[in-house]
Structures are given as structure tokens and as C-alpha cells.
Amino acid sequence: MKKIDAEQVRKVAKLSRLDLTDAEVQEFSGQLSAIFKYVEKMNEVDTDGVEPLAHCLGVNNCFRDDVVRQSLGVEKTLANAPERDDEFFKVPKILDDNSGA
């Protein structure tokens, strides 16, 4: 019995805007299940009284000053764009526009 079934893989793929073939769904279902099993194994460790870790480095308060640095410039910025429209990135029309952070 797989821990992550095909249905769950499809859901996660949809959320990530990934288009998977049926064969890929099967493949990832196996891989993800293996990862999941491994994580479950770690669950066996007794973590009572251990603070959850927010960051693996154990370093805090790393800032930079609010000083302007040179940006790339329009040409370099767009150099790797699949398509451009003047100085803009050109992308497929956004249909359901709920963008905006």
C-alpha cells in the first residue's frame, strides 16, 4: 500500500501547475511514498522538550543596510526570457487573475 496515492499526487501537481502523465503519476507516487516513509521513520525519535527548529544554521539577525545597488538593466534582465514585448516579459494571457501578493 502506497503512502501517497495517485489522487494525492494529482492534487499536489495541480497546485504546482504541473502537467503529469499517468506514468509519471505512478512513478512519483512511488518516490513520494518512499520519502514519506523515511520521514515517518524520523518520527520515532523522541522529541519531547525539543524546540522546533526554524532554521538549520542556528544563526539569526542577518541584515543588509538599505543601500541601493546596481540592478541588472533591462537588457540583461530580459536576456533569458522566452519571449519579450519591448521592455516587458511576455507571458501567456493570465486568465484567472488572482495575482497580487
Partner 1 sequence: MADLEYKVIVGLEIHVHLRTATKMFCGCELAYGQQANSRVCPVCLGLPGALPVMNKKAFEYSVLAGLALNCEIAKFTKWDRKGYYYPDLPKNYQISQYDLPFSEHGYIEIPVEGPQAKKIRITRAHLEEDAGKNTHTSGNYSQVDLNRAGTPLLEIVTEPDMNSGAEVRAMAVELQRIVRYLGISEGDMQKGHMRFEPNINLAITKDGKEYRTPIAEIKNLNSFRALEASVNYEVVRQLDEFERTGKVMVEGSKTTRGWDDAGRQTVLQREKEEASDYRYFPDPDILPVVMTDEWLGEIRGRLCELPLKKQMRYVADYNLSEYDAGVLTGERANAEFFERVVEAGGEPKRVCNLLTQMGLKVANARDCGLAELGLKENDMAKLAKMIEGGDINASAGDRIMQEMMVSDKGPGKIARELNLIQKSDAGELEAFVEAVLAENEKAVEDVRNGGKKSKAARGFLLGQVMQKTKGQANPQVVNQILQEKLKSK
Interface ranges with partner 1 (CB under 8 A): 15-17, 54-57, 59-74, 77-78, 83, 85-94, 96-101
Torsion of CA 75, 80, 86, 87, to 10 degrees: -50
Q: Is the dihedral of CA 56, 58, 61, 67 positive or negative?
A: negative
Task: State the minimum distance, in angstroms, from the CB of residue 87 to partner 1.
Answer: 4
Give the HSE-up count for residue 12: Cα atoms under 13 Å, Cβ half-sphere: 11
For residues 1 and 95, which CB has a smaller minimum distance to partner 1 in the complex? 95
Amino acid at 24: E
Residue 77 CA to residue 6 CA, distance in Å, equals 39
d(CA 43, CA 37): 10
Smallest gap from residue 95 Cβ to partner 1 (A) = 10
Least separation in angstroms between residue 83's CB and partner 1 is 8
- Give me the least distance between CB of 19 and partner 1, in Å please: 13
Nearer Cβ to partner 1 (1/59): 59
Closer CB to partner 1, residue 23 or residue 55? 55
